[in-house]
Structure 1
Amino acid sequence: MIKAKYVYSEDLLKYRFSDSHPFNQMRLKLTTDLLLDLGKLNENQIIKPRIATDEELELVHEPHYIEAIKMAGNGELPLEQYEKYGLSSEDTPQFKNMHENSARVVGGTLSAVDAVMTGESVRACHLGGGLHHGFKGKASGFCIYNDSAVAIQYMQSKYNQRVLYIDTDAHHGDGVQWTFYTNEQVMNYSIHETGRYLFPGTGALTERGDGKGFGTTVNVPLDAYTEDDSYIDVFKETVEAACKAFKPDVILSVNGVDIHYLDPLTHLSCTLKTLYEIPYIVKNLADQYCDGKCIMVGGGGYNIWRVVPRAWSHVWFALNDTQTPSEAIPQSWLSKYQPEAPFPLPQSWLDEQVDYMEIPRRNEITEKNNNTKLRILDWLT
């Protein structure tokens, strides 16, 4: 059995709102080419993403919404309906063939799920996925369809799995949370920058689920400017407690890398040190509780040159039980992409910490985060 499968096709780059939009899937190609040039990824490990069927999308999304997305992608949706479906904002504007290219993102995550569930591989990743803001009937936050939510429901419906969803994106995974807020078979764990300062404004400590699902939503809101040591301390203890309490069959994790201090859309102060460590923590939990069954998807990350390729490479390294390479960034990759980059590309795996500022309120922030951690641990243990 192959240890891990990697979902990728250049067709995934067609999920693109505009040339100036911050959500730029060129980061997928940068990461994939880096792994290929390193010799850490080969063709027999790659799965091409399929396009999710309407029936699969309807596991989460409302049929009238799917039809509206199809019409919008063909320029046929009446303008007065754009706002109703979340297509009138700068975050999620209409683009050509919107349905097909969005459904391919979902299909890619389902392809990763099937690889693991059928025993083709122990683990899988689809870095093109992680669109966690999409709602049942409305686009939001760069997300048309919610591949993570569809994948969770797919694992429940087709494979009868208890799913632990771990979301380490800087933004709260609101679309996934509200989809499963009353579902006791899904634990939704999200560690994120507090919604006091950042979209979507949700993910408070007190949002813990409802009805039969009460207690299966775990939100870990961190103060702005949280740095490496505080982040890892809070994350490691709370996610381990959540996993131990829930005892999942499989883990699906969103690996947004916008917690990095150079990300242009967020206010956390982590470095590559934390981003390198996160996927190993998740993988080890899967080994301990789920016989290794783990699917990792992408998520946010808007510094596509300095941060995303190196950080996302470690998702693949973790899934294959390998560590940070001892060799430098391949010259072939640098030569290919330096002409396109707006500044010098990194030469090594070390975080240069360019323009990193010491946190003036570090002790205060750490104390607040620790109090949040202790409250969560009190609930879970």
Structure 2
Amino acid sequence: MDDTLCGLIDAPALPVYDLGADHPFARHRQLPLFDLIDRMGMATPAERMTAVPAGPLDLELAHDADYIAMVEATSAARTTPAQRASALGFGLGTSDNPIAVGQHAAAAAVVGATLTCVRAVLAGQRRHALNTAGGLHHAFRRRASGFCIYNDLVAGIRAARQAGVDRVLYVDFDVHHGDGVEDAFAGDPGVVTVSFHQSPETLFPGTGRAEDIGRGAARGSIVNMPFAPFTDDASWWECVAAILPAVVRRFRPGLIVSQHGCDPHREDPLAQLMLTTAPMRRAARMVRELADEVCGGRWVATGGGGYQPYSVTPRAWSLVWLEMSERPVPTRIDPGWIAAWQPECAEPLAAEFEDAPVAASPRTAQAQEINRRTLDRVLSLQGI
């Protein structure tokens, strides 16, 4: 296998992760993304990867057996009142994580896809690999949370650790704090978690303060950079560029796992950051360059949050893939793709991959001041 070959999971082939027609997590959001990739020839057949299904032991890398059994039980076409009552104790049956037919198979397939990426990269079959269906970072060992049932990231990182990778660095660019991943490895000095997210005082899940840096032997293994609402590209990137390279070079991981939620975008309906697609592309490039520098290119990336399934996620995740595979960004988006998907979207679809910059405003200036103070605190706490 060519050690420069990247891998892209064939996400549309996975069972549909369906939390309901009116749920913010769009059940078919992989379709417009892969239609764009296919129409524009942005991935070769050799790069496409078929996910290996996750078995029970794979799921137990991240979750307790009784939680898995409850997810399976509530995935049936019919559930009893007693089952539904018990499920609430596991975070199932809420508005964020409603009980849905087939949810076990769909969520397990996401875990299998991320594990496929991790194992291919560790085996030297792929230099980097991307699972855009993954990034379900809110699920806990015994509890569903924040649209996430099984935590594919925790399973992937733990599989890498069990395979002999001494140090894994996880970086989360989602607008929401990567709480489930942080919690899973809070006491493990062999895993560093870095999360760039909107301030917990203003957004779910209400965690991820700069002062949370780990405990005991793992002190310093947690890095949180919470952003003020209305943060723009320049302020966000200033903080990412100041923190991430320093942490990676100090820790020198054997594998980097990254989550590329695109909900920091200015059009996302569930948050208040003001990013365009430009810094999302730069973040992917930075991770690739750091992986090449410190760990022989071993990098696994996933998708994550992103609740504009036609206007934002196809462009943002295409850019992650283009940076991963070191392809140039096309000047224009295929007009046929726009014509095909415009009927699904109330707003005009962009004709280019990168957005026009956001104009500065008093709110973005105030956010920058707050972020610089937070950045100083993070750097001080981390000894950077």
- TM normalised by structure 2 equals 0.95
Aligned equivalents of 2:150, 2:194: Cα separation in 1: 20
Question: Match for 1:247 among 244, 248, 252?
Answer: 252
Q: Is the 8 A contact 2:133 2:302 kept in 1?
A: yes
Tell me how far 1:59 sits from its aligned partner: 1.4
Question: 2:383 corresponds to which residue?
Answer: 380
Question: 1:345 corresponds to which residue?
Answer: 349
Question: 1:149 corresponds to which residue?
Answer: 154
Gaps of 5+ in 1: none
Question: 2:179 corresponds to which residue?
Answer: 174
The SS at the match of 2:116 is helix
Aligned equivalents of 1:145, 1:296: Cα separation in 2: 17
Question: Match for 2:284 among 279, 292, 295?
Answer: 279
Give 1:150-165 correspondences, 5 Å limit.
150-165=155-170
Tell me how far 1:25 sits from its aligned partner: 4.0
1:279-337 per-position Cα deviation (integer Å, ceiling 9, x unaligned): 011111111111111111000010111111111101111111123213x1112322322
In structure 1, what residue type is equivalent to 2:101?
K
Aligned equivalents of 2:163, 2:347: Cα separation in 1: 47
Aligned equivalents of 1:130, 1:322: Cα separation in 2: 23
1:57-93 per-position Cα deviation (integer Å, ceiling 9, x unaligned): 1112000000000000013461221210111211100
The SS at the match of 1:3 is coil
Moved more, 328-337 or 260-269: 328-337
Residue 106 of structure 1 pairs with residue 106 of structure 2: no
Aligned equivalents of 1:10, 1:362: Cα separation in 2: 37
In structure 2, what residue type is equivalent to 1:380?
G
Tell me how far 1:358 sits from its aligned partner: 4.3
RMSD of the TM alignment (CA)? 1.5
Question: 1:129 corresponds to which residue?
Answer: 134
Residue 296 of structure 1 pairs with residue 298 of structure 2: no
Residue 91 of structure 1 pairs with residue 93 of structure 2: no
Residue 195 of structure 1 pairs with residue 200 of structure 2: yes
Aligned equivalents of 2:152, 2:135: Cα separation in 1: 6
1:86-143 per-position Cα deviation (integer Å, ceiling 9, x unaligned): 1121110011111111100000000111111111110000000000000000100000
Aligned equivalents of 1:225, 1:13: Cα separation in 2: 36
Residue 332 of structure 1 pairs with residue 322 of structure 2: no
Question: Match for 1:48 among 47, 50, 54?
Answer: 50
Aligned equivalents of 1:343, 1:169: Cα separation in 2: 23
Moved more, 269-278 or 330-339: 330-339
Aligned equivalents of 1:334, 1:159: Cα separation in 2: 45
Question: 1:217 corresponds to which residue?
Answer: 222
Give 1:250-265 correspondences, 5 Å limit.
250-265=255-270
Cα gap change, 1:380 to 1:32, in 2 (>3 Å): farther
The SS at the match of 1:159 is coil
Question: Match for 2:315 among 310, 315, 320?
Answer: 310
Question: 2:21 corresponds to which residue?
Answer: 19
Tell me how far 1:352 sits from its aligned partner: 4.8
- TM normalised by structure 1 equals 0.95
The SS at the match of 1:121 is coil
Aligned equivalents of 1:263, 1:357: Cα separation in 2: 17
The SS at the match of 1:337 is helix
Q: Is the 8 A contact 1:245 1:380 kept in 2?
A: no
Q: Is the 8 A contact 1:170 1:193 kept in 2?
A: yes
Aligned equivalents of 1:96, 1:357: Cα separation in 2: 45
Aligned equivalents of 2:359, 2:23: Cα separation in 1: 27
Aligned equivalents of 1:259, 1:10: Cα separation in 2: 24
Cα gap change, 1:13 to 1:25, in 2 (>3 Å): farther
Moved more, 159-168 or 176-185: 159-168
Moved more, 366-375 or 214-223: 366-375
Aligned equivalents of 1:361, 1:370: Cα separation in 2: 14
Aligned equivalents of 2:270, 2:150: Cα separation in 1: 21
Aligned equivalents of 1:41, 1:361: Cα separation in 2: 40
Tell me how far 1:28 sits from its aligned partner: 1.5
Q: Is the 8 A contact 1:108 1:126 kept in 2?
A: yes
The SS at the match of 2:141 is coil
Question: Match for 2:324 among 319, 324, 344?
Answer: 319
Gaps of 5+ in 2: none
Aligned equivalents of 1:264, 1:364: Cα separation in 2: 22
Question: 1:68 corresponds to which residue?
Answer: 70
In structure 1, what residue type is equivalent to 2:351?
Q
Tell me how far 1:344 sits from its aligned partner: 2.5
Aligned equivalents of 1:359, 1:183: Cα separation in 2: 42
Aligned equivalents of 1:367, 1:289: Cα separation in 2: 32
Tell me how far 1:340 sits from its aligned partner: 2.8
In structure 1, what residue type is equivalent to 2:42?
K
In structure 2, what residue type is equivalent to 1:96?
V
